[in-house]
Structure 1
Amino acid sequence: MLIDIFHDTVCPWCRIGHKHLFDALAQSQETVKIRWHPFLLDNSIPPAGYEFRSYMQQRKGIEPQALLQLFDYVQGVAHASGVKLNFDKVRLAVNSTLSHRLIALAPDNIKNDVVHAVYKAYFEDGLNLGDLDVIVALGTEAGMDSTELRLQLSGNAALDAVLAESTFARFNGITSVPFYILNNKVRVDGSHSTEMFLQALNRASLIEISAKIW
């Protein structure tokens, strides 16, 4: 089964959806191939980033107390799903392009691990995903060659592909993430529950079986 995942590495709901999907896959008998697609929520953020809370208040149009309540709510949903989010450690709103380039450059056999490491770095450790040293370290820890990776990311490797894919997603009607397409047929919009993903996997599998029969 082919699963296309549209996500941003600085989106907490994408991390929650990631956990639910992979929990569902652990309960499923399906053999899957996953393709990760970048969806840049805000590519206008400069390399240095913005102070996280001020940026989020402006983006959401809410007061500081309402922002704290929002953080508490999202962290509560994450905790119930077995996901750790620590907004107290997140200091910067960052441009996620560099992290998506890392994912694009990662070999297929470690790509899922790299995605998980990037999410953890931002939402648990509060690391700056716009910092080249941070991104190179994440890739190196996953098994990529440090020297080659730094050379690639210091240049424009995978940059055009990341920007093009993000734009392509919007042109094709994807307006928010996470967004999943199973076997080019079944679409799941949002983080949802493990049970919902299991149902979607079953639907996609049945469609595939029916297509083979007919």
Structure 2
Amino acid sequence: MKVDIFFDTICPWCRIGKNHLIQAIETWKGDKVDVRFRAFLLDASVPTEGRDYSLVIDQFGGKARVDTMFAQVCKIGEVCGLNFHFDRIKKMPNTMLSHRLIKLAPKERKSAVIELISKAYFEDGLDIGRMDTLLEIADRAELNQAEMKKQLLSQEGIAEIHEDVTLAQKVGIRSIPYFIINDRYSLQNPQSADSFLEAFERIKEKQFS
């Protein structure tokens, strides 16, 4: 079974959705699940150096409204064992470089790299648009830091990200996280691991019906 997850590294719901997926896979007793992480750029207009987070808060309707949204994320995150400290975030980063690090990581390390990026941003308030931040994450993920730097300074990974973005546009994806199972069945913003398990079971039944 294949699952494509369209996500962005600054999307808190994507972190929660990925957590639900991993929990479901660990519980699932059926066929092996192959996960492909697809890049989705929530705001490609963010400059390379990032954007002041106060401007982002204004863009989303002001502090009161955003605080309500953040409180909801924190509440659900707590249930999942995920921490979010939005008060530590000072900058909205351009996420292209973080997606490139994920693309360059070996398949077996991608999930760990994504979680380390999420932790750096949502818990530590670090700027995940910076090369030095991402190289530190690469080191924690036991990747060759020098090799990762060399590749990030090149054009490697960019074409793959553009392919993901084009695919998302073709499918008509407007919000994330968005999951596509076996290239046919879509699941948007699942509420729990059970959402995946139910979908897996339905697909399994269709395969053998």
Report the TM-score, using the length of structure 2 for normalisation. Answer: 0.93
Letter matched to residue 71 of structure 1: F
Superposition deviation, residue 63 in structure 1: 2.3
- The answer to whether the 8 Å contact 1:92/1:128 transfers is yes
- The answer to whether the 8 Å contact 1:18/1:191 transfers is no
Change (3 A) 1:105 1:209: farther
Deviations 1:40-80 (A, max 9, x none): 0001101111111321321x2x1222221221122112112
Change (3 A) 1:143 1:128: same
Q: Which residue of 2 aligns with 1:23?
A: 23
Deviations 1:106-140 (A, max 9, x none): 11111111111111111111111110011112122
Q: Distance in 2 between matches of 1:78 and 1:160?
A: 33
Q: Which residue of 1 aligns with 2:52?
A: 51
- The answer to whether the 8 Å contact 2:7/2:38 transfers is yes
Change (3 A) 1:191 1:53: farther
Q: Please, which moves more after superposition, 64-73 or 148-157?
A: 64-73
Moved over 3 A (4+): none
Deviations 1:68-102 (A, max 9, x none): 12211221121122221110111111111111001
- The answer to whether the 8 Å contact 1:16/1:191 transfers is no
Q: Please, which moves more after superposition, 91-100 or 20-29?
A: 20-29
Q: Which residue of 1 aligns with 2:12?
A: 12
Matches within 5 A, 1:148-187: 148-187=147-186
Gaps of 5+ in 1: none
Aligned pair 1:126/2:133, yes or no?
Answer: no
Q: Distance in 1 between matches of 2:92 and 2:58?
A: 11
Superposition deviation, residue 205 in structure 1: 2.3
Letter matched to residue 202 of structure 1: E
Superposition deviation, residue 191 in structure 1: 3.5
Q: Distance in 2 between matches of 1:63 and 1:144?
A: 40
Q: Which residue of 2 aligns with 1:188?
A: 187
User: How many pairs align?
Assistant: 208
- The answer to whether the 8 Å contact 2:86/2:122 transfers is yes
Matches within 5 A, 1:2-151: 2-30=2-30, 31-58=32-59, 60=60, 62-151=61-150
Q: Please, which moves more after superposition, 2-11 or 116-125?
A: 116-125
Partner SS state of residue 95, structure 1: coil
Q: Which residue of 2 aligns with 1:203?
A: 202
Superposition CA RMSD, Å: 1.4
Change (3 A) 1:209 1:143: farther
